[in-house]
Amino acid sequence: MSGRRILNPRNVVLLIVCLMYLITYMDRVNIATSGPAMQKELGLSHKEFGFAISAFAYPYAFFQIAGGWLGDFLGARWTLVLCGAIWSAATVLIGYVEGFASLFAARVLLGFGEGAAFPTATRALAAWTPTARRGFAQGITHAFARFGNAITPPIFAALIAAYSWRAAFVIAGIASAAWVVVWWWYFRDDPREHTGMQAEDLAALPDVKPRLSGAQTPWLPLLKRIMPVTLTDFCYGWTLWVYISWMPSFFLHEYNIDLKKAAILSSAVLFAGVVGDTVGGVLSDAILRATGSLAKARVSVIVLGFVGAFVCTAPVLLTRDLFTVSLCLSGAFFFAELIVAPIWAVPMDIAPEYSGTASGFMNFGFGVAGMVSPVVFGWIIDATGRWDYPFIASLGLLLAGAVFAFFMRPGERFHAETSVAAGVARG
């Protein structure tokens, strides 16, 4: 039964990656809970605060590609050590900001640090995770991310009440630094070099090189191949950024409740995403086992997520009942999060040898959504005074995402040599 031992290195690495997802999401969304106190002390308008939130997304989006390539070339171990040190320092620095400019700068630094995190983690999982478990691996890691979303509002509200919003950011930064040390100590780019691996563990590993070792990256062919996935991820990302950036403030201002109750309602909504992430990964893998088709396993779950989120979001525009709105938002977030596991598995399916760069291309769409979505949300609120109007844009993008998903073709593996040769022949 040793092959089923729970604490084999593959599972421990997956757990450490899960903790990274949780911590990084706590560090990027804690500003939403501390927002009212920060805005009051720093004198920020809703639009300025929206810009401060979106400052994270600019370097985050552009470092997806460079950071994903770095994870492919340098290896996941040292790439995440470097990036983790940056985002830990940035989180601490937010606790010392004095106005809009310094807050904007600290959020930019946080975006640089976290930009390479998920593509690099995907590169690590590509080498450590069997193909048949990729959906589960991506689902459980992102479930931890959404769990970070869910627990951040009450934890940060408690820290703010006990100490201050500034101290809360310092504590979060120290927690991030502790994770970096654990990652450096335990992880190895090549799982075969890990002393805890046994024969049955090695037999389950996929045939994926742990790093590129000087191989030239086929940038343009890979970009063209991943573009439909990028567009799909943009549509998903728009909705997610609305949820993680503005949910506590939405309940606080739209329903005139206190911060503690707003934080609890936000956690309830975001916790639905924890379930959605896990279910999406398990469902995708189950369809793959039943059909043997990567296209059916990934695309069908993604389309279900977009359509379900659309159906659940629409009633938010039609009622003012707090219970009904909370229930609908929870349902919408559950369906939206069904998308995450299969869409993150797609770059691993299409281009496992270049999965860092490929997932960086994909998540660039998410980052661009993060640049635009919080700012548009804040601008609409300042212009209209209505907190429900920004959800209208989400409805259109949810339908667009369902359409783009049909063009991803996860069952067709990318081969660099064939793609380059085809490009030369056409030229």
Query: Taking 60 as the threshold, does the pLDDT of residue 425 lie above it?
Result: no
What is the C-alpha separation between 204 and 183, in angstroms, rounded?
22
pLDDT in tens, 218-245: 889 999 999 999 999 999 998 888 777 7
Q: What fold does the segment set 11-190+219-409 form as a domain?
A: Growth Hormone; Chain: A; (1.20.1250)
pTM for this prediction: 0.75
Q: CA quadruple 85, 151, 333, 369: dihedral positive or negative?
A: negative
Q: Who contacts 405 (Cβ-Cβ below 8 Å, separation ≥6)?
A: 228, 232, 299, 302, 303, 306
Cβ(344)–Cβ(237) below 8 Å:
no
Check residue 174 and give its pLDDT. Answer: 94
Digit-coded pLDDT (tens) for 306-344? 999 999 988 877 877 888 888 888 999 899 999 999 998
Alpha-carbon span 415 to 230, nearest angstrom: 19
Write out pLDDT tens, residues 277-295: 889 999 999 999 999 999 9
Q: Are 251 and 269 in contact (CB under 8 A)?
A: no
Quote the tokens at residue 186. 């335990």
- Angle in degrees, CA 23, 298, 275, rounded to 5: 40
Whether pLDDT at 420 is above 60 = no
